[in-house]
């Protein structure tokens, strides 16, 4: 099953709004086939794993391991449960049931009705963590939210700077951390920043230092302060602007009317409707603090560099012990998980 999880991870960022899934075919304790779900609309992991087996006659004495329950409905591809029984596979081991309403246990039932032995719940917790974005989106009807910031050793995320500042941000974390951030961008459906960050840093919010797709860019500009010089308004990348003023942008920009009372909970509802399953929030401090105060966050990844600023924009604070701690170059990376986050789902 751990090999299924490794394979599934190869599809991260490419399958949304589908889950990531890996599958292996085992014959006499040897893996003879493996596959994963590469992209939305493409063949499922089970299909790729079965197709990869060189001698199909062995399938009848093999076990199929799947990180997620095989589907039972005609979606973009025919049901995997049907293929598995047609191939004569006798045993299937699954980590998680698929919470998607049209599957949700029916895949298992169809396999069992065809006389296949099915075992579920194998490494269940690890499977739930692997597909946390998907499970969260389906079960709680809001995107999975990951906060990320870099802070100095004395707790600042930037010096105080004015909009349009020509010098640009002082980098707190090292090159390797910035590359990691681009990898993370490629894994999420959307990326969001506050208006001040757009005005002071003018970020592009794309995936330049890693392979993979660009997330949808999002900002909440309730007072209509953004100008057309903002890179995120250049129309080259899918972008959603929540805005309090009527504006006509060209290119791949959608606007959503947001009056001054528009809050993050409203943003989350809209993003759910727009099938955004995860949001990577890259600051600044006010935006992070709003997410932290509302409880509408699930994970926070905080880099702490070696330098000190003595003064500036104060970093947000999470008064808990991190769940994970890594050293990356000279920086420290702490990962926090919000154990109450599901209380805020609908």
Ligand X SMILES: NC(=O)c1ccc[n+]([C@@H]2O[C@H](COP(=O)([O-])OP(=O)(O)OC[C@H]3O[C@@H](n4cnc5c(N)ncnc54)[C@H](OP(=O)(O)O)[C@@H]3O)[C@@H](O)[C@H]2O)c1
User: Could you give the residue numbers annotated as active site?
Assistant: 46
Considering only residues 259 through 318, tell me which ones interact with ligand X, judged by CB under 6 A.
263-264, 282-287, 290, 313
Q: Which stretch binds ligand X (CB under 6 A): 13-21, 37-45, 96-104, 196-204?
A: 196-204
Q: Which stretch binds ligand X (CB under 6 A): 19-27, 96-104, 154-162, 177-185?
A: 154-162
Q: Which of 142, 161, 217, 332 binds ligand X (CB under 6 A)?
A: 161
CA distance 86 to 50: 11
* Residue 148: its H or E element: strand 144-151
Backbone angles phi, psi at 171, to 5 degrees: -75, 130
Residue 17: asked if its preceding bond is cis (omega within 30°), the reply is yes
Going by C-alpha positions, the residue among 104, 142, 97 that lies closest to residue 120 is: 97
Of residues 149 and 297, the one with the C-beta less far from ligand X: 149
Strand partners, 68: 96
Of residues 223 and 339, the one with the C-beta less far from ligand X: 223
Question: Binding of ligand X at residue 222 (CB under 6 A)?
Answer: yes
Q: Which of 8, 84, 220, 233 binds ligand X (CB under 6 A)?
A: 220
Q: Which stretch binds ligand X (CB under 6 A): 66-74, 111-119, 130-138, 189-197?
A: 189-197
Size of the site for ligand X (CB under 6 A): 28
First to last CA, the chain: 32
The dihedral sign for the CA sequence 286, 289, 291, 297:
positive
Of residues 105 and 168, the one with the C-beta less far from ligand X: 168
CA distance 200 to 124: 44
Of residues 42 and 155, the one with the C-beta less far from ligand X: 155
Q: Which stretch binds ligand X (CB under 6 A): 31-39, 156-164, 175-183, 249-257?
A: 156-164
Question: Binding of ligand X at residue 91 (CB under 6 A)?
Answer: no
- 70-99 burial, b at 16+ Cβ within 10 Å, e below that, comes to bbbbeeeeebbbbbbbebebeebbbbbbbb
Q: Which of 76, 129, 208, 223 binds ligand X (CB under 6 A)?
A: 223
Q: Which of 149, 297, 309, 336 binds ligand X (CB under 6 A)?
A: 149
Considering only residues 34 through 73, tell me which ones interact with ligand X, judged by CB under 6 A.
none
Q: How far is the CB of 242 from ligand X (least distance, A)?
A: 8
Q: How far is the CB of 183 from ligand X (least distance, A)?
A: 16
Strand partners, 216: 190
Q: Which of 34, 158, 298, 299 binds ligand X (CB under 6 A)?
A: 158
Question: Binding of ligand X at residue 131 (CB under 6 A)?
Answer: no
Q: Which of 34, 201, 298, 299 binds ligand X (CB under 6 A)?
A: 201
Going by C-alpha positions, the residue among 212, 217, 220 that lies closest to residue 236 is: 217
Strand partners, 148: 301
Q: Which of 197, 331, 338, 341 binds ligand X (CB under 6 A)?
A: 197
CA distance 68 to 97: 6
Q: Are the C-beta atoms of residues 135 and 99 closer than 8 Å to each other?
A: yes
Structure tokens at 26: 């085992």
Of residues 85 and 195, the one with the C-beta less far from ligand X: 195
Structure tokens at 329: 């170059």
Going by C-alpha positions, the residue among 220, 164, 163, 211 that lies closest to residue 191 is: 220
- Could you list the residues that contact ligand X (CB under 6 A)? 149-150, 157-158, 161, 169, 172, 193-197, 200-201, 220, 222-223, 225, 263-264, 282-287, 290, 313
């Amino acid at each position: 099953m751990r090999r299924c999880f490794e394979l599934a991870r190869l599809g991260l960022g490419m399958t949304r709004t589908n889950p990531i899934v890996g599958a292996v075919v085992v014959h006499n304790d040897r893996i003879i086939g493996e596959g994963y779900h590469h992209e939305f609309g493409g063949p499922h992991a089970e299909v790729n794993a079965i197709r990869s087996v060189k001698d199909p006659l062995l399938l009848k004495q093999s076990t199929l391991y799947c990180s997620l329950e095989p589907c039972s409905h005609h979606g973009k591809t025919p049901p995997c449960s049907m293929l598995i029984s047609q191939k004569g596979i006798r045993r299937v081991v699954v980590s998680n049931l698929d919470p998607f309403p049209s599957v949700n246990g029916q895949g298992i039932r169809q396999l069992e009705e065809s006389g296949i032995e099915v075992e579920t719940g194998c490494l269940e917790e690890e499977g739930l963590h692997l597909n946390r974005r998907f499970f969260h989106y389906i079960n709680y009807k809001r995107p999975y939210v990951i906060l990320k910031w870099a802070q100095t050793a004395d707790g600042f995320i930037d010096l105080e700077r004015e909009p349009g500042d020509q010098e640009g941000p002082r980098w707190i974390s090292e090159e390797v951390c910035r590359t990691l951030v681009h990898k993370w961008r490629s894994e999420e459906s959307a990326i969001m920043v506050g208006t001040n960050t757009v005005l002071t840093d003018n970020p592009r919010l794309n995936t330049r230092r890693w392979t993979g797709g660009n997330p949808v860019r999002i900002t909440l500009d309730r007072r209509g302060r953004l100008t057309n010089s903002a890179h995120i308004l250049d129309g080259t990348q899918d972008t959603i602007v929540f805005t309090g003023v009527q504006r006509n942008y060209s290119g791949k920009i959608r606007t959503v009317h947001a009056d001054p009372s528009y809050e993050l909970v409203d943003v989350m509802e809209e993003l759910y409707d727009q099938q955004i399953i995860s949001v990577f929030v890259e600051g600044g401090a006010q935006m992070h603090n709003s997410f932290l105060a509302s409880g509408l966050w699930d994970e926070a990844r905080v880099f702490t560099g070696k330098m000190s600023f003595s003064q500036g924009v104060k970093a947000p604070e999470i008064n808990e012990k991190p769940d994970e701690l890594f050293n990356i170059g000279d920086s420290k990376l702490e990962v926090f998980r919000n154990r109450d986050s599901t209380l805020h789902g609908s």
